Chains A and B, each alone.
Chain A
Amino acid sequence: MATHALAPATTAYRTGLYEWLTTTDHKKIGIMYVINSFLFFLIGGFFALGVRAELAQPGLQIFSDEHVYNEFFSIHATVMIFLFIIPMLAGLGNYAVPLMIGAPDMAFPRVNALSFWMLPLGGLLLLSGFLTQGGAAAAGWTSYPPLSEVGPTKSPGPGQDLWIVALTLIGTSSILGGINFLVTIFKMRAPGMTLFRMPIMVWTILVTSVLVVMATPVLTSALVMLFIDRNYGGHFFDPSFGGNAVLYQNVFWFYSHPAVYVMVLPAMGIVSEVLPVFTRKPLFGYKAFIFATAGIGALGFSVWAHHMFTTGAVFLPFFSLMTFLIAVPTGVKMFNWVATMWRGKISFSTPMLFAVGFLAMFLIGGINGAFSAAVPVDFALHDTYFVVAHLHYVLFGGSVFGVFAGIYYWFPKMTGRLLDETLGKVHFVIMIIGFNLTFFPMHMLGLQGMPRRIADYASNAGWNDWNLVASIGGFIIAASILPFIWNVFISLRNGKIAGDDPWEGNTLEWATSSPPPPYNFDRLPEIRSERPLFDVRHGRLDHGDATA
């Protein structure tokens, strides 16, 4: 349903640099989040290519100094987690949530801008470690002490401190964003939009924001303690003065486990928006979905020590049980998605391709996680490439595919132009092939005993072939980004004009122009279900609130 925008869609933005630098408009901020996060995706990807190039064959070919190799994988993961996935999903949420609930902006627009600008600053601080004498942080993205403490063979340089400060800044940005989302969602919904009529994307951002507000500060406390140990003679983690190295792991993972749900729930939200639109059916089990999401959020706080099964310092049965249990709501979601597709009428625009890719790949990631939930099996697989396979299937096969689904889906709303479908399909096909070539062999490598975080491996260990395949796959992934970048470039100039609602969407963001006016909506349709636009378009065929 078109609205009477006060200015033509293609000039709805003031384009000056000053406007972008000082904006408090959630749409511009959301776009900046997306661009900044994508840049860090490329940077994190560069470090990954360095790792894969080295591991393609046995023998040290590229890194003569192992310390630099350690910096590469440490910064790769840190960048991908804290500067790519988490903020990218926060950015897509920033763009979409106020629109989807019929609000004019976020609750605290200036805090929103502050949250964004802390990110490039944090990223610069993190990467500046490479310019220091000791190099960037090199103790893994997990930075366990004692290796991350000061000491000649540990982490003596400022790189580790820069890592701590950068993460504290980025964490604060995240917390402020979480507070902003929660107040926006609870207090600024349009009339008629009850909680149980909100789009699933908004629900996942809600639960994610609860996790962010409650878990991220615990990371801050771990970082603060490490910083005090490193710089003020503290002894939190130093056993010779009564400290305990495992304490860090407990505090760290208390955050970092819920963090993985922060990294995946909004992507699941995106998939839950895309599937109903492109199957022309409602999401199957809307309420069940919400309960499953809340269940994952709650259970997510009870499993952290499954990252520490081999320390000999955790109560194994509890954490193993909770880890197995969290598979249930996750499985429920998977079944609900498949049921949404079942007997639907599916069209395969690029957003849908990536959403289906999410389902197919995240399933594998969920299944291989079950192996590690079984403690004795984890004793064999922990700290091997099997875990690297698991985490990439859920975070890349899951979250990143979800991110691309969201980008292709909302690009027309953000810019007024559609991305080219052919280039999108090329991107998808090359990426999913490259992705599986890279990460499936890692299951085998881990099972055969290849540990993580090693710069080189023995040529007679039997790991040569799979490593080569994985490295080739990595470069194929890199290649697949090129059609995407090209697509964005040409579509911004010459893409097909999208109009208000190019996909026949269900949710409120499609009830305004593309891009929307600064205040978002002139007029809102009546909201009587979780698919207000569908109801308008089809004369409320299927009328009433969604029931499970």
Chain B
Amino acid sequence: MDTNLIWLIAMALEAAILFRGLRTELQKRYLFFYCYIGCLFLIEVLRFLCLSVTPNSYGAFYWQTELVRIVASYAVIFEIFKRALRHNPGVARIAQELLRVVFVLALAYAASDLLHGGFTSFPRATADLGRYLLYVEGALLLVMLWLFGRYRISFGRNLLGLTVGYSLVVGLDVMNLALLALPGHGYSIGLRKLLPITYLIALIIWCASLWSVQPEPAHPEVSAIDRDYDLLVAKTMAVFAHLSERGGRTFRP
């Protein structure tokens, strides 16, 4: 497909998402996500203008705006975290701790790698910084997705679409930037051809899932479920010890 056509379709889809967000008032519920889409739209327009007016400076401009895009996408992680776990305070607490640890570890790894690589030029340093920020973001998203799966966190259609589209974009971006960092980066050619299409797919997922307000899954009253978790844990440990002993005795030859 023609690159300009993909570009124009992407801009049209972003505009449609923003328009529907305003019409359905979903932008109030997912404020950070709509700010991110607004930022993407602005970046796409500026890149398009830059390529048309000053094509020579497009390379440097692309990496600068890519860095802005990656920083802005952190807002979506925050949005997903906030909306998905608002009825699960316990999981939110575990997730917060886990995410903090992962963030520090990933940041330390990225910083050491960045410093080790040295600064050859400003555009290169910008590109590297963007890449490492994306790795950190990927690590945070991975932990969140794992926790959502493990604790069977229920999603409404709106939030699910938002999360799936975002995971698709981040997952493929992480792989692409990793391959791009290879000398000669021949491996990423196939993936690079695929990326604009997958980005369009992500935009279509967002557009479809956020087209109208969907009901969110009902949650039982938080305080009613169980408050005696510590007691439960202590009892379980005692029972476990007792049962292991009993099980061993029963089936000893």
The answer to whether A binds B is no
Please report B residues at the A interface, Cβ cutoff 8 Å. none
Which A residues contact B (CB, under 8 angstroms)?
Answer: none
